[in-house]
Structures are given as structure tokens and as C-alpha cells.
Amino acid sequence: MTRHVILLLGLLLSFLGVLTLGLALGAVPIPIWEVLSALTGSSDPQVETIVLGLRLPRVLLAAEVGAGLAVAGAVFQALLRNPLAEPYILGVSSGAAVGAVMAIILGMTVNSMFALPVAAFLGAVLAIILVLAMARAAGRGLDTHVLLLAGVVIGAFFNAVVLLLVTFADLETFRAAMLWIMGSFSGATWESVTMVAVWVLPALTVLTAFARPLNLLSVGEQSAFHLGVDVRQLKIFLYVGTSFLVGVCVAGSGAIGFVGLVVPHALRLVGGSDHRWLLPACAMTGGGFLVFADTVARTVLTPAELPVGVVTALLGVPVFLWLLVRSEESL
């Protein structure tokens, strides 16, 4: 336990350091001491505008979304007892994107800040239901390869639905929809930071409270049942709760992949699979990872900007292939 506390403190310091770098780096580099002065309101007005008005909302939104996606990945992996399970690979992020884009096209987001996350949540729930139904229909339970194939098929289907929806939309809506597909924080505002925080922070707290049942479930459903866990109700609650978390994250940033794959796996290698430490560690590391990826996306080709989903994919695909080869060799 002491080792985990030390690791968590180290991750917290690293997380704060990445946030600071995210505020300092950009098209106009700002020294770290000026960033700290701007945060306390004692800096040049122009620097304060850049730091507080432009970069701070973007960095906070990336941290919230990264934390949510990493924790969602860890929970899905525990539920399915599969290290390859991840919201993007399972098609959940694509389903959430369909719900979000549909809400935008229908004008549901004009008068309510709740419409977008709720619509994305419904799309995410529909996606996970379809993936699990396809896997069970194949007659092989929740086999790794069947799940991956089902996730790819469902994800491709929902991506096609998004493109179909935007075909009938105006130019502005089309550009917004493209951001949902690729993932971007370029439109981050204090309103979007608040919208995501209102939903993500309570969801993270609730899911973290289920760390012990997740530990039991990771061992096996029979073992969890004999130790007093209502496995059916727990799985339903966690599937719905995690899909809701993914939906809110997609509503804030679009469909960003591989955060929920890379982060939990890396942390298990460092500190083990105990969810009492893993979930808080995923929240901090996922937030820092996505802030880092977004910083790379907006600085590597300055003044142009890459979609952050491109950066996470370039980092995540090699890890995914490595895990897939490892799982194949262990059979």
C-alpha cells in the first residue's frame, strides 16, 4: 500500500507538471514563471488572456476527458477480463459520436447543456449492447477476437452513420462533425469545461468506489459471486455507468481512441492490477497523457494543428498490436 501511495504522489506531481507545460507551450511560448504569474492574476494582460482565456480551458478539458477515457478503459477491461477492451476499439466512442452529432444536427443543444452528453450516452449504451449481443450470438461467449471484430464492425457502422448524417447538414455542422470523428480540443471553452466536469467528476468518484468489487470480478464471476457480489447487477450498473462516462467525454472532445488501452496497461506493469490504486492512477495518468498529446498536436506543426486523435492513435496502435500478439501467444 505504501508503494502505491508513493506512486500516486509521483503521478500527481507528473500530472501537475504536464498541465503547466500545456499552459506554457503553444504558438506563442510562455515561460513557466509567467504562466504561474498569470494564474495568480499578476502578469501582463496579454499573457493572462492567452493563459486563462485560451490555454487553461483547453488543458482542463483535455485532462477531464483523458481521465474519463482511461478509467472507462480500466473498467471495461475488468468487466470483460480482457486487456484489449477499450471504448474506441469496442465501438462505444463511435456510438457516442453518433448521438452527439445527431443532437447537434437536430438543434437539441441550443437551449440545453444536458442534451449533448445525454444523446452521446444513449449512443454509447446502444453501441455496447450491440457489441455484446454480436459476441454472444457468435456462440463463443466473450472471446477476445469476437469482441474485437464486433467492435470494429459496430464502430465502422456508426462512423458511416455519422457521415450519412452530416451529408444533409450545412457546412458549419459538417466541420463540427469532422471534429467529433477525429477528436479535438480546439473549440474548448469554459462552458464546455463546466459541462464535462459536472458529469465526469461524479462518475469517476462513483466508479472508483467500486474498486473492490472490480478486483473480485477480475478474478472471475464465480469467485465474485461466492464472495457476496451480485454479479449481474454490478455488471449492468458498471456497463451503464462507464458508457455514460464515455458519452460525456465524447460530447466534450469527439471520438479519441487508445487512451483507455495504453494508460491502464502501462500502470498495471508499474503497480499491479489492484483497482483501489489503478483507477485513481488512471484518472491522473490519462488526464496527463491527453494533455501531453494535445500539446504535441498543437505545437508540432505550428501554426497548423493536428487532431489529437491522430496523436493518440500513433501512440496507441503499436501498443494495441503488441497486446494482441501477446494474447495470441498465451493461447
Q: What radius of gyration, in Å, describes the C-alpha atoms of the chain?
A: 20
For 240-257, what is the mean pLDDT? 85
**Domain range annotation of the chain:** 2-329
> pLDDT by residue (tens digit) across 159-190?
888 888 888 777 777 776 676 677 888 878 89
According to the model, what pLDDT value does residue 216 have? Answer: 86
Q: Which of 107, 148, 102 is nearest to 123 (CA)?
A: 102
Fold category of 2-329 in CATH: ABC transporter involved in vitamin B12 uptake, BtuC (1.10.3470)
* 322-330 LR contacts (CB < 8 Å, sep 24+): 323/83, 323/84, 323/261, 323/265, 324/84, 324/148, 327/83, 327/84, 327/144
Element (H, E) at 74: helix 56-80
> pLDDT by residue (tens digit) across 43-81?
788 888 899 999 999 999 999 999 999 999 999 888 888
Cβ contact 91:154 at 8 Å: yes
The answer to whether the Cα torsion of 12, 18, 22, 24 is positive or negative is positive
CB environment 185-202: b (16+ within 10 A), e (fewer): beebeeebbebbbebbee
> pLDDT by residue (tens digit) across 82-101?
777 788 878 888 888 888 88
For 222-239, what is the mean pLDDT? 82
